């Protein structure tokens, strides 16, 4: 119910004209009674309202994620939906937003509960077989359909994990490191792609000493671009540390763009530590180079300062991201926690099938472990140890 009302402090002084919304339990977002004040957004209005609320006994500011945690504890959301809400809040690109909305709709939670119910049914058959073990072949008749169901479930969970191989990476984004020798134009390229002066550009070698990160949205794909120090042999201890960090960041990237000076007559050579990485070679400064110069290993020719070839480079990065995240569009596993628990479930089901004929008790125990893992995924059992970790990432009061 909505009402227009004048909010007043304890002395009767008006604070603001407000729309007050009342959400009675259990139909609110948290399942509790909730009052919402829609006020004008001036700082003085907000400060006056907070000052008035602080004088009411029992009222306090909400902790980070507290409203969502209360919704979870009151059965309005399962744990995967709560994580989906957090992902919606922090989504930077359209594709991250779409993935987060799938999670918020409870697609993984619904599947997990369906799997959990089926494993419980199979477990009931096995437990019944144990109870009637003295009834001749009754045990075998009950265990056989249970094993069939378990095998089918294991295959379905494995397919879900395979289809979601890169889904959690979509939350974090693709990491592209710009590396190469000093003065190749790495910082200029970073600034060109970021469309702002994110890195200092200087003609002096060794200007970049530490990695600089820029987050981009390329056709809806989140990309973290890293400008690294020029990689070369040096006696400067500070620059040596910069080179070490550059190699380290490049090795941890999903793609390395190795930038070389197109005017350099020597063939470009990739740093030995990076030769096993997914790597592109980009010849920069083509506006200053002899146009007849070519290289059989050239990937793209650009001028970071003038903008030549940049659109082609961006298009190639988008294509790389599309291929890299190809399976994530339909994937429903978006966090390492989900993958770990589903992996535990599948492994427990595999052990259960392998235990067939070694004793129904061993089979039943592995099914109980699988049920427990799926229960932890949706928050139905034993999740106190992870609740604080999940909800503290939320916005204050969300």
Mean pLDDT of 290-305: 62
For CA atoms 49, 53, 32, 65, the dihedral sign is: positive
The rounded mean pLDDT for the chain is 80
| pLDDT at residue 295 greater than cutoff 50 | no
Nearest to 49 by CA among 8, 2, 4: 8
Helix and strand numbers, DSSP H then E, in the chain: 13, 9
- Evaluate whether 150 touches 349 at the Cβ level (below 8 Å): yes
Q: Hey, is 55 helix, strand or coil?
A: coil
Q: How far apart, in whole angstroms, are the C-alpha atoms of residue 228 and residue 246?
A: 5
The DSSP secondary-structure symbol of 231 reads P
Give pLDDT tens digits for 68-103. 999 988 989 888 888 888 888 888 888 888 878 877
Q: Give the E-state strand segments of 174-252 in sequence order.
A: 174-179, 212-218, 221-227
Q: How confident is the model at residue 383 (pLDDT cuts 50, 70, 90)?
A: very low
For tokens 């790597």, the residue is: 279
Q: How far apart, in whole angstroms, are the C-alpha atoms of residue 214 and residue 226?
A: 7
- Look up residue 94 and give its two tokens: 């359209």
pTM above threshold 0.85: no
H or E element in which residue 311 lies: helix 310-324
């Amino acid at each position: 119910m909505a009402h227009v009302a004048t909010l007043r402090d304890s002395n009767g002084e008006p604070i603001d004209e407000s729309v007050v919304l009342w959400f009675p339990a259990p139909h609110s977002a948290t399942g509790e009674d909730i009052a919402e004040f829609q006020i004008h957004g001036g700082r003085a209005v907000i400060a006056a309202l907070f000052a008035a609320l602080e004088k009411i006994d029992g009222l306090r500011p909400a902790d980070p994620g507290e409203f969502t945690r209360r919704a979870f504890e009151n059965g309005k959301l399962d744990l995967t939906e709560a994580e989906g809400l957090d992902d919606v809040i922090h989504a930077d690109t359209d594709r991250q937003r779409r993935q987060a909305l799938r999670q918020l709709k409870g697609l993984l939670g619904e599947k997990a509960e369906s799997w959990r119910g089926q494993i419980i049914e199979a477990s009931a058959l096995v437990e019944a077989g144990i109870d009637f073990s003295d009834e001749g072949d009754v045990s075998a008749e009950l265990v056989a359909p249970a094993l069939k169901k378990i095998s089918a479930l294991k295959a379905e969970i494995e397919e879900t994990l395979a289809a979601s191989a890169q889904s959690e990476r979509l939350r974090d984004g693709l990491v592209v490191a710009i590396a190469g020798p000093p003065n190749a134009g790495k910082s200029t390229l970073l600034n060109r792609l970021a469309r702002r002066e994110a890195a200092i550009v200087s003609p002096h070698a060794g200007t970049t000493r530490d990695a600089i990160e820029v987050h981009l949205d390329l056709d809806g794909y989140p990309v973290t671009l890293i400008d690294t120090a020029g990689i070369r042999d040096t006696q400067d201890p500070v620059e040596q540390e910069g080179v070490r960090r550059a190699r380290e960041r490049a090795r941890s990237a999903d793609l390395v763009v190795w930038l070389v000076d197109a005017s350099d007559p020597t063939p470009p050579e990739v740093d030995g530590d990076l030769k096993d990485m997914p790597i592109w070679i980009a010849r920069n400064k083509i506006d200053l180079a002899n146009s007849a110069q070519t290289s059989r290993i050239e990937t793209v020719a650009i001028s970071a300062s003038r903008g030549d070839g940049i659109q082609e480079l961006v298009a190639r990065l988008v294509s790389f991201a599309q291929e890299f995240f190809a399976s994530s569009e339909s994937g429903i596993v978006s966090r390492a926690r989900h993958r770990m628990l589903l992996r535990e479930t599948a492994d427990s089901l595999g052990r259960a099938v392998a235990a067939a004929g070694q004793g129904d008790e061993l089979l039943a125990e592995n099914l109980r472990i699988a049920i427990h893992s799926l229960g932890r995924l949706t928050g139905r059992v034993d999740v106190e140890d992870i609740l604080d970790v999940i909800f503290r990432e939320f916005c204050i009061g969300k």
